[in-house]
């Protein structure tokens, strides 16, 4: 049954009003195409490929102390494949995840088993975080499965950790009717000059906000201004938070095909 829609988030409305005068000045300023902005933001985050080393910190009511997971990942955006190896904690060391779109495989060294993750597990949390296995598989679709629209331009956006103020484009992503995505819409703040994603808000179809992604610690790497801190806050689970701290990230390298095999899963690299 439909949950009584809480207060619709006011921000988009307010911004929409701001957009009116902006529309008139559009001719003067020549605002870029929304889809183009989105494309550039995606590129900042992922390039055509990305090698990442980092640390994920999970804060949850169920955990007496936050859990810290160290990982290393190879993401081949064009080939729709990626590989993640878990380095720490010791209990999970050696665990691997292989995404060959649309399937997700995992290897657990302790039991020496490789298996494909079935549909019923796709919505389970990944490594105990607030991301789901499904998120891992779906992340490439933000460009293809959505229509993009520029809502407004915010002049003084303050982001994670008080960073900024920056000038940001506010975009709305609406999924295509046939896209297998449950979000009603996503509102994204993208820094105007370097197309660095600053925040994403995820709403269901009733307009209730379900989660928020904030991006911070922007550093220049590989010709891009890349956020090195991602924080995901699920709004339906108070007290939960997942932070990803990137230590090293390299873009646009060519990866050996052998990485994206189940054989590699069983290795340790």
Alpha carbon distance 191, 215 (integer Å):
11
Is 102 a residue that touches other proteins (CB under 8 A)? yes
Which residue in 221, 218, 154 sits closest to 188, CA to CA?
154
The verdict on 127 binding other proteins (CB under 8 A) reads yes
Determine if 17 is a binding residue for other proteins (CB under 8 A).
no
- The yes or no reply on residue 62 touching other proteins (CB under 8 A) is yes
Contact residue for other proteins among 5, 123, 235, 258 (CB under 8 A) = 123
Binding-site size for other proteins (CB under 8 A) equals 45
User: Position of tokens 């039991």?
Assistant: 111
| Binding test (CB under 8 A) with other proteins, winner from 111, 144, 162, 220 | 111
Nearest to 83 by CA among 237, 257, 230, 251: 257
Dump strand ranges (E) for 110-223. Answer: 113-116, 146-157, 166-175, 185-191, 197-203, 209-221
> Closest CB to other proteins among 74 and 203?
203
Site residues for other proteins, window 216-245 (CB under 8 A)?
236
State which residue, 101 or 167, has the beta carbon closest to other proteins.
Answer: 101
Q: Which is nearer to other proteins, 110 or 167 (CB)?
A: 110
Contact predicate 224/246, CB 8 Å = no
How far is residue 269's CA from residue 171's CA, in Å, rounded to a whole number?
Answer: 39
- The answer to whether residue 180 forms part of the interface with other proteins (CB under 8 A) is yes
Residue 92 touching other proteins (CB under 8 A): yes
Q: Alpha carbon of 187 to those of 183, 208, 214: distances in Å?
A: 11, 12, 12
- Report the distance separating Cα 229 and Cα 210, nearest Å: 20
Our finding on whether 88 is near other proteins (CB under 8 A) is: no
Q: Which residues contribute to the site for other proteins (CB under 8 A)?
A: 1-3, 58, 60, 62-63, 67, 92, 102-104, 106, 108, 110-111, 113, 115-125, 127-129, 137, 175, 177-184, 204-205, 210, 236
């Amino acid at each position: 049954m439909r949950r009584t829609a809480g207060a619709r988030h006011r921000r988009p409305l307010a911004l929409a009003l701001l957009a009116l005068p902006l529309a008139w000045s559009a001719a003067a300023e020549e605002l870029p195409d929304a889809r183009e902005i989105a494309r550039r933001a995606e590129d900042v985050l992922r390039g055509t490929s990305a090698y990442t080393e980092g640390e994920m910190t999970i804060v949850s009511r169920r955990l007496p102390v936050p859990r810290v997971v160290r990982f290393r990942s190879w993401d081949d955006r064009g080939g729709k494949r990626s590989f993640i190896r878990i380095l720490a904690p010791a209990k999970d060391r050696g665990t691997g995840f292989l995404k060959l779109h649309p399937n997700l495989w995992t290897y657990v060294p302790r039991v020496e088993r490789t298996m494909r993750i079935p549909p019923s597990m796709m919505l389970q949390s990944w490594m105990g975080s607030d991301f789901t296995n499904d998120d891992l598989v779906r992340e490439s679709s933000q460009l293809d499965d959505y229509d993009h629209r520029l809502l407004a331009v915010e002049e003084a956006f303050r982001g994670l950790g008080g960073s900024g103020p920056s000038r940001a484009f506010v975009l709305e992503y609406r999924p295509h009717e046939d896209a297998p995505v449950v979000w009603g819409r996503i509102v994204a703040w993208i820094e105007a000059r370097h197309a660095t994603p600053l925040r994403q808000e995820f709403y269901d179809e009733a307009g209730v906000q379900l989660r928020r992604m904030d991006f911070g610690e922007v550093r220049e790497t590989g010709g891009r201004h890349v956020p090195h801190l991602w924080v995901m806050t699920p709004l339906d689970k108070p007290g939960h938070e997942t932070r990803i701290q990137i230590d090293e990230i390299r873009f646009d390298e060519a990866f050996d095909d052998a990485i994206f095999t189940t054989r590699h899963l069983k290795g340790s690299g």
